[in-house]
Structure 1
């Protein structure tokens, strides 16, 4: 299968979680025998922070604007499938052009589904418009559960399919790194995540000055009052993620408000941390208990006291190992690549059936 992807970024993981999601998925998709071209908008904030430039499993090409993107018209026309991702700059224009140009399957991969739906509800068409949704052959969604039916019934998606993020076990596995922190958090700053981070990490740090904490990720305001026992790492490249998790006795998962409201929206960090056998303490949302068994493969916490209780659990290593086993059984990139192939072939069969009926 010849696949072309137009995504936010593959070359840079700076300030976004899309890059690691795309890398794991496309590497595994290539391993199934497919050819992949990734087209990325050349923007200065990623150009200055690239940590992947020439993978052996995918071609990467950059375009400066919509006019330059059209140099790739032939590739779009010849592709068996073309996927446009969420948050692509000028995504509405890009999607409309792909739908006019492609002869194979067209898909939208929404790595931000709850955010996208909230945007559409308030008339914000930053990267997707209501008109584009029914014209994509398949809507691949970071969010599963009831949201899939909502996409089909309320937005006209012909086929909405869950395609959760995943992890590459070759890159995310336990390392021999010595334990440095009692609780870690890896994530870019977000206004709607910050109250939970305050409650579930910063407040526990203030209550336990003898324990060590760390927050890794960019764009945190200088006005945040970090306790002395909270270390800050401005940017952590994916190559250092496994060592980061392995150095953590526990790691924290915090979810954006729109994703909590929709549920069924696992962060890539969940799977990455679990693959490293690091026990996870997470906020709570619908569907999480279908991905990990609470109190056996993950610990859920709503309050500061519940986080502090988790940090003192003697069975933490066992929880980490159980979470790792669940991820390796169900949530690797190989699992997702097989699902993606199935969805694209299903959509192709549907297109052929429609052409035959016409």
Structure 2
């Protein structure tokens, strides 16, 4: 099958500002393009993301920025009509319900409609809390659900809600963008954490990072990310604010160790490694992560990643960490992700799924009443 045309409705491809899925989208879309597919990424002009772009329009995707109004959404949907595959990502941020209902309507009779969930715990909680949510009916009209993570519990939950197929497509690393760089004095620290302030993660950051920092007096610690400006911090913690994507490698490579703190829902669900896990591993950083089920599927605890259950354990790990061991852990993590967890690996899975499902669709007549 020749390359597919894919219309992808997501939060943003060109801006990581208040958009944790940007790295994921870029990695997936870039590698799908490398496999011959043609992706048009539709994103709303919302949340000042266009004012905080961190990449220009790429040569591996066409980016369409539409007005964040109902009329703007309708025009964007018409532009996507006729694609082989139409994708609605979760968490676009504006008019999500409209997009959820409309994407199956604009699929070709011999095409696919895909719901790509970058926050399955939140979507599933929403559906379980409201049996009248219109997405219950819309979900059954999608040909497949792809998820950012979650493992078998998420697959089973979507199946129980009527999804035809659910496949996790985990985060990964793009070696061209996340790789070792020389240390940068701006990011010198014993421990660093990068993440926006979110209600679903703040208490875990307080425990795993701020408490650990307080237990490491005299050891400099860094907090990167938006929203922390009015947060009381230990004296040894320096707040950097938003860290642009171009600085992520230096942020990961320079400190003795970097910390991953999962959102509460992601940790509870398990099998949900954040993009930060693979960004850090790709840069050969020594990563400490909070404990969650499934970490061993991605990195080997004790050899490729360090795992801590609370702030006291984080502080203990940092206090006992030598530069030599930190480098060894980072090098092992990088070797593992390059061998098994790049976006090229993920794109093979997505490619097989999409082309396989399309071959099935096109081998049989379109169902009666399917919109043209």
TM-score exceeds 0.5? yes
Q: Is the 8 A contact 1:114 1:143 kept in 2?
A: no
Shift of the alpha carbon at 1:352? 2.8
Shift of the alpha carbon at 1:75? 4.2
Deviations along 1:135-181, whole A, 9 cap, x unmatched?
A: 11110011242234324431111110011122211111110124611
Q: Is the 8 A contact 2:113 2:142 kept in 1?
A: yes
Shift of the alpha carbon at 1:353? 4.5
| Alpha-carbon distance in structure 1 between the residues aligned to 2:96 and 2:365 | 28
| Alpha-carbon distance in structure 2 between the residues aligned to 1:355 and 1:107 | 20
Is 1:226 equivalent to 2:226 in the alignment?
A: no
**Where does residue 200 of structure 1 map in the other structure?**
208
SS in 1 for 2:137: coil
Deviations along 1:315-356, whole A, 9 cap, x unmatched?
A: 221111111111111111111111111111122133234537
Pick one of 122, 127, 133 that aligns with 1:115: 122
Shift of the alpha carbon at 1:190? 1.6
| Alpha-carbon distance in structure 2 between the residues aligned to 1:294 and 1:124 | 40
Counting only pairs closer than 5 Å after superposition, residues 174-193 of structure 1 correspond to structure 2 as 174-178=180-184, 180-193=188-201
Please list every run of 5 or more consecutive structure 2 residues that lacks an aligned counterpart in the other structure: none
Deviations along 1:213-246, whole A, 9 cap, x unmatched?
A: 1111001261x21112111111111111011101
Q: Is the 8 A contact 1:151 1:160 kept in 2?
A: no
**Where does residue 85 of structure 1 map in the other structure?**
89
Give the count of matched residue pairs.
Answer: 356
Is 1:337 equivalent to 2:347 in the alignment?
A: yes
Deviations along 1:32-72, whole A, 9 cap, x unmatched?
A: 12211111111152122122232111111111123233334
**Where does residue 47 of structure 1 map in the other structure?**
50
Counting only pairs closer than 5 Å after superposition, residues 159-178 of structure 1 correspond to structure 2 as 159-178=165-184
CA separation of 1:356 and 1:36: change in aligned 2, threshold 3 A: closer
Is 1:59 equivalent to 2:69 in the alignment?
A: no
Q: Is the 8 A contact 2:101 2:135 kept in 1?
A: no
Pick one of 260, 270, 294 that aligns with 1:263: 270
| Alpha-carbon distance in structure 1 between the residues aligned to 2:55 and 2:342 | 20
**Where does residue 30 of structure 1 map in the other structure?**
33
| Alpha-carbon distance in structure 2 between the residues aligned to 1:152 and 1:281 | 31
CA separation of 1:205 and 1:148: change in aligned 2, threshold 3 A: closer
Shift of the alpha carbon at 1:207? 2.1
**Where does residue 146 of structure 1 map in the other structure?**
152
Deviations along 1:247-305, whole A, 9 cap, x unmatched?
A: 12111111111112211111000000010010111111111111111111111101233
SS in 1 for 2:365: helix
**Where does residue 5 of structure 2 map in the other structure?**
2
Is 1:19 equivalent to 2:22 in the alignment?
A: yes
SS in 2 for 1:120: helix
Higher alpha-carbon deviation: 53-62 or 63-72: 63-72
Q: Is the 8 A contact 2:281 2:337 kept in 1?
A: yes
Shift of the alpha carbon at 1:357? 8.5
Q: Is the 8 A contact 2:10 2:88 kept in 1?
A: yes
Shift of the alpha carbon at 1:97? 1.6
| Alpha-carbon distance in structure 2 between the residues aligned to 1:278 and 1:327 | 12
| Alpha-carbon distance in structure 2 between the residues aligned to 1:228 and 1:204 | 12
Q: Is the 8 A contact 1:271 1:327 kept in 2?
A: yes
Q: Is the 8 A contact 1:245 1:276 kept in 2?
A: yes
Counting only pairs closer than 5 Å after superposition, residues 245-264 of structure 1 correspond to structure 2 as 245-264=252-271
CA separation of 1:3 and 1:287: change in aligned 2, threshold 3 A: same
| Alpha-carbon distance in structure 2 between the residues aligned to 1:122 and 1:141 | 20
CA separation of 1:220 and 1:355: change in aligned 2, threshold 3 A: farther
**Where does residue 106 of structure 1 map in the other structure?**
113
Higher alpha-carbon deviation: 313-322 or 168-177: 313-322
Q: Is the 8 A contact 1:53 1:60 kept in 2?
A: no
| Alpha-carbon distance in structure 2 between the residues aligned to 1:110 and 1:69 | 19
Higher alpha-carbon deviation: 1-10 or 42-51: 42-51
Q: Is the 8 A contact 1:252 1:281 kept in 2?
A: yes
